[in-house]
Amino acid sequence: MANLNIRIREAELADLELIVDFISQKSDFDGSKNLLTATADKLQQTLFCQPPLVRVLLAEVAGEAVGFAMFYASYSSLLTQPCLWLDDLFVQAPMRGMGIGTALLKYLAQIAESTNCGRMEWTVNTGNAPGIAFYEKQGARILENIMVCRIEGSAIAQLAKK
């Protein structure tokens, strides 16, 4: 692991295009580019509304952004505590394995701890063996008895009309 000076900071309004670019890069990595509809305008409406619906951290090395984490608050009725949901974590390929992902997760853990979160959660693609290994190394348990359920697009409208 390289000894880099990694700076983690909250995204600002001027970062909108950069964040959309990171989302695009992550969609390529995930093989879901065909699902990408993110735009700077749409992101601005959710990232910089009051209160923000989502937050973004940027990881910088030598003043250049090389990774990001997008997250928001969730809640556990079982714990009766807030939780932190990590929606995206992405580090550009040439910078992987240098501690940037770890720095982002550590910063998220500090946020979770300071806001009394009972847990941090996220999903990882079952085919992403390096990602799974990375998360396990950070102390994450990969839950095999829980499956993601998703209703999207026109199915939401259909369900709403039932």
Please give the single-letter amino acid code of residue 139.
Answer: G
Q: Is the pLDDT of residue 88 over 80?
A: yes
User: Average of pLDDT values for 87-93?
Assistant: 97
Q: How is residue 25 written in tokens?
A: 């890069």
| Residues marked as catalytic | 135
pLDDT of residue 3: 78
Q: What is the pLDDT of residues 1-56, one digit of tens each?
A: 567 899 999 999 999 999 999 999 999 999 899 999 999 999 999 999 999 999 99
What is the pLDDT averaged over residues 99-120? Answer: 97
Percentage of the chain exceeding pLDDT 70: 99
Beta carbons of 20 and 39 less than 8 angstroms apart? yes
The arithmetic mean of pLDDT across residues 94-123, rounded, is 96
SS3 call for 126:
coil
Q: What is the DSSP letter of 145?
A: S
Instruction: Give the per-residue pLDDT at 2.
Output: 60
Collapse the DSSP code of 131 into the 3-class scheme (helix H, G, I; strand E, B; otherwise coil) and give the result.
helix
Cα–Cα distance measured from residue 151 to residue 50, given in angstroms and rounded to the nearest whole number:
26
- Strand arrangement of the beta sheet that strand 120-121 belongs to: 6-10, 55-61, 64-76, 81-91, 120-121
Average pLDDT, the chain: 95
Report the pLDDT averaged over residues 136-156: 92
